[in-house]
Every structure is written in structure tokens, then in C-alpha cells.
Structure 1
Amino acid sequence: MPADHFSSVAAQYAQSRPSYPEALFDWLASQCARRALAWDVGAGNGQASVALAARFERVLATDLSAEQIAQARPHERIEYRAASAERSGLPDGAADLVTVAQALHWFDLPPFYAEVHRVLAPGGLFAAWTYGILSVEGEAPDAIVSDFYHRIVGPYWPAGRRHVETGYAELAFDFRPLPSPPLAIVREWTLNELLGYVRSWSATARMQQATGVDPVLALAPRLAAAWGDPGVRRTITWPISLRAGRP
């Protein structure tokens, strides 16, 4: 069973993680002949699940972390369930779409892919995506955040994190691939919003647990000096890597 890296930062994760572009979900829905049920695996606090519920009749959102599920926003078409990726509880051929947002690199892929093949309906679609390392508007703020990511908390990233950095190119993919559109997350954030996002990183939490010191406390004044007026919004960009295919 995969490790749970996010229960300790579940509340911060729900508050601070960026949402995905609507164009991503429009494309996913357009590739599905039916839109009766989508299974969102590793759903966390339901960011992708809510967007899917606008396009599918029902959504099953599962996550290994009960704490993450507890932070999810209720929705009449979403059933949230604490469950492993390998055991959905769905009948054979029940899902028109199976999605994994920013979580595939944590899964035990052979049994998970077996479960996806079991639950996908004929002609169904599997899609997994990850957003890569952020870039921050402004040379100085971007360099400080990059240094924090790679050098300060870098040693505390779980091993699977490298798959995010390579856009899932090295992960096994047991499906017939479809070409996917270019996508990115773009946000205009204040300094405090960016610091909140950094606090939601699993590596930040792991460093604090290991050292007893919150590393963001040292980052904040360095970044503030480069940022200028803390109320100024800077453009933050994350590239999205999407892998989609059919059985």
C-alpha cells in the first residue's frame, strides 16, 4: 500500500493548493462517450472531483488519507471515500473515466492498473496528470523559491517526487495513449498565498518533523525582501503533464 504523505498537511493542502484549469476537464469529458461515472483516485480534498462533477452524473472520489477526505467540499454528485487506489469497491465496467491528479507517482502501479482495467467501461478513458515545479514572476523571487525547493527542503522530498519533475515520462503506462493538449496552471498570488502553498509541500512538513524547525520561517523574510509590497500579486505558473489513454 502506498505511503500517506499528506495527512499531516491536509488542512494547509486544502487551503493552498492551486486548482486545475477548466480546459483540462473540458478535454477529458470530450473524450468520453458516456458521462455517467468518473472515479477520481487519490482525490485529496476533491479539487479535481468537484470539476468532474460539473461534467459527470456521479463522481467517486477516493483517497488513502481520511484526513484529506475530511477536508473535501461536499457535493451532491460526489461520494467521498477513504480507500486505497487498488480497491475502489466499484463493479466491473462501471467507470467511464478514471482520473489521477498529482498522485500517480505514489501508487503501486501494477495492482492499480489492474483495478483500472477492471472498472473501466468499454471505450472508457484513463487520465493522470501532474503539475511540475512552479516558476515565479521576477528573477529574484523565482531564484529564492527554486533554492528553497531544491536545496533547503530538497533532501526531504520522497523518492517518488522525481516523477513529478520528469512529467511522468518515466512511469509505466498500461494504456493506448492519446495525444493531449498543452496545459498549464497560472495564478496571480500575493506573497502570503505563495508561502501558504509552500507550507503544503510534503517536503516542508517532513523537514519540520525531522528538525523541529519550520523552514518557511527563514524563507519568508528572504522572499519578502525580493517580493516588495506583500500585497502585490505576481504570476505563478506550473506546467501540466497529462498522460491519457484507453485500455
Structure 2
Amino acid sequence: MTDAGEFKDHFSGHAAAYARARPVYPAELYHFLSVCCAEHALAWDCATGNGQAAGMLAAEFQRVVASDASATQIAAASGADNIEFRVASAEASGLAGASVDLITVAQALHWFDIERFFAEAERVLKPTGVLAVWCYGMCMIEPACDRIVHGLYDRLSPWWPPERRIVERGYSDIQMPFDAIDCPRFAMTVEWSAGDMLDYVATWSASQHCLRETGDDPVQAIAGPLRTAWGSARRAVHWPLYLKAARRPQ
């Protein structure tokens, strides 16, 4: 994220594919965050993308504001009646001060101007309100498939944005601005076919950048070998989640 209203947009060009192909965060994660909150009037899902997290928060909170700096992402998002989708930057939400019980940022904090976003979080959170950010890194399947998928990830290194390194470190170098909350470990697990995995890696920002710059689709290069290694069965795919949460002091 740079100036408010100007942001590093790596996903708008394939927003619909992103919405279809990305794994789903576990319901237990949202329940844990809900329990951390003293009140449940308003949650803000910042950088909502396809609205996945906002949809789950809608079951826990009376109202959810789901914002994204990309109008294309917001246009592709949908959700429950108590979700308000809006185009807004992370650093200038347009929300009222001291109005929010929970802020969530799923797989997006590394794109922000983090200091300015934390200042905005402090402004809009209620006293004792909670800020939660999380990311996920490389998936794990089984060794033969992992070698192919991880090999693609490595070959795409010239096209990964530098912010990706923050994700690779599991947000370990992110210093939260409030009082840390002790968080359990969460993971995502899906049952996918080889085609599902190919759709997923095609949504990687580096895959899209490589395709635009070279005209060659890097995913096609692994399609045959991956389908052979994968076989016809659906396989379990696992991603560890790296969650950080903090409570604003009263």
C-alpha cells in the first residue's frame, strides 16, 4: 500500500478466479476471534477480497463492513444481508472512531502501509476491541506433488513481489500495536483434485505476473507432471495459518 487510494493491486485482474480457487479458513478461527470480543455489534473485514472472511463474520456479528481498495474485488464479492461491501483503503476506512469490535485482515497485511493501517485500527477500534491478522504460506500435500508445486513456487521467484517474504516468515516480524492475545494454532485443509490445485496456483500473483510479462503460462508447464503424480483421486491439502491478535487497551 502506498498513498491512500493508491495500492499494490496483484489480484483484481483475476478476481473471479481468485474467489473460486482459494481455500476456505476454518470456522473455528472465527469462533475463537468472536469469543475474544466483549461486544459483537460491528466487525470490519479489511482487504476483504472475495468476501470469504466477511461471510463467516456475519454469523458472529450484528453488522460487518467488508472493504477493499479494489473496486473489481468488491464487485465480485457477495454475502449475507448484514454485510456492507465498500471500496476503501486499509489506511482510510471511513469508519467512525471507536466503533469497531473486531478488525480482521486475512492474507493481506503485507500489502499495506502497516504503520498507517495500525493507526487507523487504533482510531476505529472500541476500547478492548480486537485486531486479528493472519496469513498462510506454502501448502503441503505429499512428497511427489509437493516437489512439483514447490518447484513452481521457486521458479517464479523473479515475479514474487518483495512483500511475499513477510508471508514466508509467517508474519513473525510483524509487531502488533496492542496487547497480544495468546492464539491457538489453526490450519486449512481441503480435499482437492489435481485440477483444483492447478486452478489455485494460477491465482498466485507471481503466476499472473509471469504470464503478463512473458506470454507463457507457468502453470501449464507443471500440469502434466502434477496430474500424473496426483492421480485421479482427491487429495488432502494442508496450509498452516499464522495468526496474530491483539486487544486495544481500555
Q: TM-score, normalised by structure 1?
A: 0.96
Aligned to 2:223: 220
Of residues 31, 35, 38, the one that matches 1:30 is 35
Separation in 2, partners of 1:9, 1:206: 11
Query: Given the alignment of the two structures, is residue 156 of structure 1 paired with residue 159 of structure 2, yes or no?
Result: yes
2:138 aligned counterpart, secondary structure: coil
Query: Given the alignment of the two structures, is residue 139 of structure 1 paired with residue 143 of structure 2, yes or no?
Result: yes
- State the shift of 1:172 in Å: 3.1
Query: Given the alignment of the two structures, is residue 21 of structure 1 paired with residue 22 of structure 2, yes or no?
Result: no
1:203-247 deviation per Cα after TM superposition (whole angstroms, max 9, x unaligned) = 100000110111111110111121122xx1111000000000012
Query: Given the alignment of the two structures, is residue 203 of structure 1 paired with residue 206 of structure 2, yes or no?
Result: yes
1:159 aligned counterpart, secondary structure: coil
1:128-175 deviation per Cα after TM superposition (whole angstroms, max 9, x unaligned) = 000111111x21111110100112x12211100111111101123212
Matches of residues 95-244 of structure 1 in structure 2 within 5 Å? 95-136=100-141, 138-151=142-155, 153-229=156-232, 232-244=233-245
Contact 1:9 1:202 in 2 (8 A): no
Structure 1 unaligned spans of 5+: none
| RMSD (Å), alpha carbons | 0.9
Aligned partner letter, 2:126: A
1:95-128 deviation per Cα after TM superposition (whole angstroms, max 9, x unaligned) = 0001100000000011111110000011100000
Aligned partner letter, 1:144: I
Which segments of structure 1 move beyond 2 Å, counting only runs of 4 or more? Answer: none
1:172-221 deviation per Cα after TM superposition (whole angstroms, max 9, x unaligned) = 32121111011000111011111111111111000001101111111101
Q: TM-score, normalised by structure 2?
A: 0.95
Separation in 1, partners of 2:85, 2:73: 10
Structure 2 unaligned spans of 5+: none
Aligned partner letter, 1:194: M
Aligned partner letter, 1:227: W
Separation in 2, partners of 1:46, 1:32: 21
